[in-house]
Amino acid sequence: MKQERHLHQHSDTGPPAFHAGNVPIAGRVILAPMSGYNDQPFRRLCRRFGASLVYTGLLSSPAIVHGPGRWGARRTAEMLRLHPEEVPLAVQLFGGEEAVIVEAARRIEPLDMALLDINLGCAKSKVTRSGAGAALMRDPARVGRIFAQLSAVLDTPVSGKIRLGWDSDSRTYLEVARAMVDNGAVLVAVHGRTAEQAYTGSADWDAIAEVKQAVQVPVLASGDVKRVADIAHILDATGCDGAMVGRAAIGNPWIFAGQDRDTIPWLERLPVVLEHLAMMLEFHGDYAGVHRFRKHLRAYLQSSGIPRRARIRITQCPDPDELQALLTESPAWVVAGEDVEPEELLVDGEV
């Protein structure tokens, strides 16, 4: 299957929308970091559709420094298998020990990345209990030290993604953002909720706007971008340089091309689905490729018009050849006007 026949081919032309340090960013819509989703095939696919900057998922600094092999654990090494099609790419690290974060960053710097990003937003207990992720929002001075050390030893520009704070009594976003920028950060991304909120309630876009006014580097807005129209809304409301799309991009690379998935008939989606599957099989192998593709496939199938029983059969198929055959046959199963209930997407690690 030739991808050029099926996939939207985005081209970065014209003047950049903004610069992150010395890195030109061609547009204003960015793929947010999401653990468990942002592997190389997905990052490449989102770039093809127009994401102007893509992030890896969260990578463990201790795993890189203390794990076996060049990049530590196998999954970490897999995430660091980069491709020229991903450029520009931000590699995101998390960690609770300053020295370990700096050493991990130093080790991976030879990779072809545009930005070295630090995660200060993940609220998962498995991350925060070691003092990493959103736990860093409790200590702006420590954040400043981390960024100062990174800026001193790296040639690669450094950035970070934050939340509004740990909880409603500790909304430290302005102090943390200033600490980052005062110590060399060239870009700040802000998710408009506290760690305590996780993904409940509404994102506070006014708080994101405060960060934009408080620092003299580009700011990316994150939170409650669910449809194409929300991108313009969050940019207008915050004055930010770019908008991050996270969960709304799963099974929906069209959002980077200005289209909502539910406006695209299944027959038109299918070539992209098959191409994504082929990329996953090539990158991960048959077994892992099929299993890791399922969470994307569930999202692709939303509002497809394919009956629930058929969708279950497709998403539970373990064999790559059979899965490709089922997908190829699937347009015949579409029921016009069927009310297909959306399935909940659980994202481990998006910040």
Over the stretch 64-96, which tens digit does the pLDDT of each residue have?
A: 998 877 766 777 888 899 999 999 999 999 999
* Confidence at residue 13, expressed as pLDDT on a 0 to 100 scale: 67
Is the same domain home to 24 and 73? yes
Catalytically annotated residues: 122
Distance from C-alpha of 118 to C-alpha of 188, rounded to nearest angstrom: 10
Residue 183 lies in a domain: yes
In a domain, 92, yes or no: yes
Pairwise CA distance, residues 181 & 190, whole Å: 13
Report the pLDDT value the prediction gives residue 336, as an integer from 0 to 100.
60
User: Which pLDDT tens digit goes with each residue over 4-17?
Assistant: 334 555 657 679 99
Residue 87's CATH number: 3.20.20.70
- Among all chains, which residue has been given the structure tokens 């960024």? 147
| Rounded CA separation 197/94 (Å) | 20
Backbone angles phi, psi at 229, to 5 degrees: -60, -30
Residue 280 in contact with residue 41, Cβ under 8 Å? yes
Type of residue found at 268: E
Token pair 């660091």: residue: 80
Judgement on whether residues 79 and 209 belong to the same structural domain of the protein: yes
CB atoms within 10 A of CB 301: 25
| 135 and 189 belong to one structural domain | yes
Q: What angle do CA 174, 158, 124 make, to 5 degrees?
A: 65
Is residue 116 located within the same domain as residue 234? yes
61 plus 39 within the same structural domain: yes
Is 138 within a domain? yes
Does 125 share its domain with 251? yes
Overall average pLDDT of the 211-220 stretch: 98
Residue type, 74: R
For residue 304, pLDDT beyond 60: yes
Q: What is the pLDDT of residue 14?
A: 74
Confidence of residue 339 (pLDDT cuts 50, 70, 90): very low
Q: H or E element: which one contains 177?
A: helix 173-182
Share of the chain above pLDDT 90, in %: 86
**Do the Cβ atoms of 190 and 204 come closer than 8 Å?**
no
**Can you read off the two tokens belonging to residue 46?**
């989102």
Give domain status of residue 339, yes or no: no
**Residue 119: what pLDDT?**
98
Instruction: Let me know whether 126 and 109 are in one domain.
Output: yes
The answer to whether position 344 is within a domain reads no
Residue 277 lies in a domain: yes
Nearest by Cα to 44 from 79, 5, 80, 83: 83
DSSP conformation class of 130: T
Asked if 235 contacts 223 with a C-beta cutoff of 8 angstroms, the reply is no
Across the chain, mean pLDDT equals: 92
Is residue 38 domain-shared with residue 138, that is, in the same domain?
Answer: yes
Rounded (5°) CA angle 282-284-289: 90
pLDDT of residue 3: 36
What CATH number is given to the structural domain containing 277?
1.10.1200
Q: State residue 78's pLDDT score.
A: 87
pTM: 0.92
- Domain co-membership, 35 together with 131: yes
Side chain identity at residue 80, one-letter code? L
160 with 225, same domain: the answer is yes
Is residue 40 a part of any domain in this protein?
yes
Among 136, 134, 118, 128, residue whose Cα is nearest residue 58: 118
CA–CA dist 147, 33 (Å, integer): 19
Sign of CA dihedral 322, 327, 332, 336: positive
Which of 196, 227, 257 marks a domain boundary? 257
Cα(139)–Cα(257) distance, rounded to whole angstroms? Answer: 39
Residues 49 and 111 in one domain: yes
Assign 308 to helix, strand or coil. Answer: helix
- The predicted pLDDT at position 350 comes to 52
285: tokens are 């192998």
Query: Comparing C-alpha atoms, which of 276, 290, 335 is closest to residue 42?
Result: 276
- Tell me if 1 is assigned to some domain: no
Report pLDDT digits (tens) over 128-176.
Answer: 999 999 999 999 999 999 999 999 999 999 999 999 999 999 999 999 9
pLDDT at 137: 97
Coil/strand/helix, residue 103: helix
What's the pLDDT at 67? 81
Select from 133, 46, 131, 35 the least CA-distant residue to 87.
46
Q: Return the number of other C-beta atoms located less than 10 Å from residue 258's C-beta.
A: 12
- Distance separating alpha carbons of residues 240 and 205, to the nearest angstrom: 10
Question: Could you tell me if 223 and 320 lie in one domain?
Answer: no
Which residues form the domain of 302? Answer: 264-333
Residue 276: predicted pLDDT? 98
Q: Is 263 exposed, middle or buried (0-12, 13-18, 19+ CB in 10 A)?
A: exposed
Number of domains in the chain: 2
- With residues binned 3-state (H G I as helix, E B as strand, rest as coil), the percentages for the chain, rounded to 5, are 45, 15, 40
